[in-house]
Amino acid sequence: RNLDSVAISRQWNRSANNRSMFTSPQWTYKTQLKDFGKPPEIVNLHWISRWIDKPSFFSSLPSELPVVWSLHDMNPLTGGCHHALDCDQFTNHCCNCPSLKKSGKRDRAWKNFELKAKLYQHINLHFVGNSTWTTQQAQKSALGKYARSIRTIHLGIDTNDYQPIDPSIAKAALRVNPNDFAIAFACADLSDKNKNLSVLLEAIDELAKHYSITLILFGSGQIPALNNQITTLNLGRLSSPHLQSLAYSAADIFVMPSQIESFGLTALESMACGTPVLAFRTGGIPDVVIHGETGWLADEVGSAQSLYQGLHWMVKHSQERSHFGKAARERVEQKFTADLMANSYINLYQELVKK
């Protein structure tokens, strides 16, 4: 079974280019609600691509069973891509997909969009965006009209797991030079082009002409060639929140230079550790990072120069940076805890079950 799944996954990958991840609503094996146990009162979906076969699954649902779909990217709203970027075809009907090697008026994206529309109109569907931006994409999508409600529930984290560690202790533990300006970058795959590590490195190369820099990296994947004048600490994949907290706390600034983010979870984790965030003003990040209060938002998305300006300001304003870090922790405690997220979902479940 696993080999079959890998084969189909590779086949789908070959049909897509490197612009955005693209997946089909169909999967290797049929999936039905009964396969998961006794009938529930409500279904909450999250990221289900390459796991659940949507045609067989949605067809097995009772028509009035509430289905909450928590959106972590745009795939449920498009013909296959997980981020539409500058394409707005999803607002009408996906076709001529720029994420496909072979696109046209009735390409794979068009067929997937048709299939999703057919499935969605027969279920009691409710979309939940994890940010204002994600919710807006659901409202703009032509598939969103089949949802009976669309709302925002922000992601939350356990602030007991992610806590500030005294920076001097964190730096000493990781052997970071206390005289260096420490910049942290983290993501699941360091080679992910959307995460823009190369743009950050270009900005740091310029910064290193004037300041001594330590770059703290954590995540899996290959990293590009680095400037040998920059001290680099590659921690690899850190699965423990406690180890992640140590890395965040050792940094003077956490940088998230992504081209697009539905929410920006690593930014939230950094803020919970009292480390301010520098990011591009894109996607759901402005819901998390407040410019001039908990970090810095660069306006020119993808611009190394715009990122450099934010980094340079952060280096020069250590006192303000310290205030940003304290305000960042307070913002997480007030707006983005796991308990707040859980209570919002409980209220939604109760509302839908009563209906």
Q: What is the pLDDT of residue 28?
A: 87
* Whole-angstrom Cα Rg for the chain: 22
- Over 90: is that where the pLDDT of 17 sits? no
pLDDT above 80 (res 282) = yes
pLDDT the model gives residue 191 = 87
What is the predicted pLDDT for the residue at 12? 46
Contact, 150 vs 138, CB < 8 A? yes
Structure tokens at 46: 């999250």
pLDDT at 186 over 60: yes
Put simply, whether the predicted model's pTM sits higher than 0.85 gets the answer yes
CA angle 121, 125, 126 (to 5 degrees): 140
- Residue 276: the pLDDT is 98
Domain boundaries, the chain: 14-156+341-354, 167-336
Strands (E), the chain: 43-45, 66-71, 124-129, 149-152, 181-189, 213-220, 231-234, 253-256, 277-280, 295-298
The pLDDT value recorded for residue 9 is: 43
Q: Per-residue pLDDT tens for 28-84?
A: 889 999 988 898 999 999 999 989 999 999 999 999 999 999 999 999 999 999 999
pLDDT of res. 166? 97
What does the alpha-carbon distance between residue 257 and residue 167 come to, in Å, rounded to a whole number?
23
Higher pLDDT, 12 or 330: 330
So what's the pLDDT on residue 35?
A: 87
- What mean pLDDT do residues 239-243 have? 94
Residue 42: predicted pLDDT: 96
Domain covering 167-336 in this structure, CATH number: 3.40.50.2000
